[in-house]
A and B are shown apart, each in its own frame.
Chain A
Amino acid sequence: MASSQQQQVQSMLKLDTKQSKRSTLLLEQPVTRQRRDKVSLSAFAFLFAEMIRYTQNRVLGIQDLETKLNELGQRVGVRVFELTMSREKTVRRETRVLQMLVYINSVVWRALFDKPADSLERSTENEDEYMITDNEPDILKYISVPKEMASFSPGAFISGIVESISVCCQCPARVTSHVVPAEGMPVRTVILLKFDKDVMEREKRLEAGKSK
């Protein structure tokens, strides 16, 4: 009696899993699968919009909002770093500033947004500032910031991802995002990394040691 009931339940469960086959197997698939799976941009856009609305209800200002989004991005960044490192099968983690920036520019951006970042520049005024530019970040292109919050940049989420990766690579930095519209690119976002003083000193020492 019990076994036939069990069989019935099991067959019902089997029917269930068959319909949601993809979702149950997604967590069981190997990490290093060959085919790159893509998420619908619309689905993520709705989720991201809800994330921003959720944090807006819990903060008291634009700076706070950007900090909270930054924290959310940091949680993503740690996982993205581990995943990309294991998928790329790279032997060593980058600990030098320039190599880390190139890694973020190419590997991380391609893993997240399916395209490399558009440019990597070093600031001319301050030696410890670097800028990663994305001409049209897909996840931000549907967001229209109202005029009373003009200084808010939803790219704070992306800057959180970059900040946690920089911490993982032992080059901690303060990362902020700014919207710098240019010709034909109204949502051009610049991620500004300001490295800590000890990181820059360490870089100077390593450069001096190498050239010697």
Chain B
Amino acid sequence: MIHSVFIINRSGGLIYNKNYNTHIAQLSSNEALIFAGTFHGIHALASRIAPTAKATGTKDTGIQTIDTKNFRLHCFQTPTGIKFIAATDLLHTRLTEALTRIYELYCDYALKSPFYNLEMPVRSDMFDAKLLQLVQQD
């Protein structure tokens, strides 16, 4: 099951943060912002120091999963530099389709709304509702 979802914009700022598991320790909003900035940094580092990139000349995709003893962190970076991060339990090995669907929801309910300013936090009831539906389905 998916514990939480984060969306980071292209400059490293957190634009969406939602927790779906009430039984685990919650991240304070400050901690979430620090997490987003840190993750943005290490993601950039990883894509630059990848040994395969220099050899083939193509840029590496960056961090895709981070494993710990209790949970796994998945990351999906769009070609526009937005990162979709999900923290799940260890049962999920790859979350690319779910993260792609979250990307589609972001495109639909955030980008097509006239009241959403780019790179700003996402404040859309429809987006929250649809994302909740998607997380509960998984």
- Chain A interface residues (CB < 8 Å from chain B): 42, 45-46, 48-53, 56, 141-146, 149, 154, 186-187
Contacts and interface: CB of A to CB of B under 8 A. Distances in A.
A142 B125 contact: no
B112 A186 contact: no
Most buried by A among B112, B124, B129: B112
Contact of B113 (A42, A56, A143, A186): A143
Interface string B97-126: 000000000001101111110000001111
Contact of B127 (A46, A56, A144, A154): A144
A49 B114 CA distance: 4
A186 B125 contact: yes
B115 A50 contact: no
25 contacts: A42-B112, A49-B114, A50-B114, A52-B114, A53-B114, A56-B114, A141-B126, A142-B109, A142-B112, A142-B113, A142-B126, A143-B112, A143-B114, A143-B115, A144-B109, A144-B113, A144-B116, A144-B123, A144-B126, A145-B115, A146-B115, A146-B123, A149-B115, A154-B114, A186-B126
A180 B129 CA distance: 18
A120 B27 CA distance: 49
A154 B114 CA distance: 10
Contacts of A50: 114
Contacts of B126: 141-142, 144, 186-187
Contacts of B124: 144
A50 B111 CA distance: 11
Nearest to B125: A144
Contacts of B129: 186
A210 B114 CA distance: 50
Q: Which 9 A-B residue pairings sit nearest by Cβ, starting from the closest?
A: A144-B124, A142-B112, A52-B114, A49-B114, A45-B112, A53-B114, A144-B113, A144-B126, A143-B113
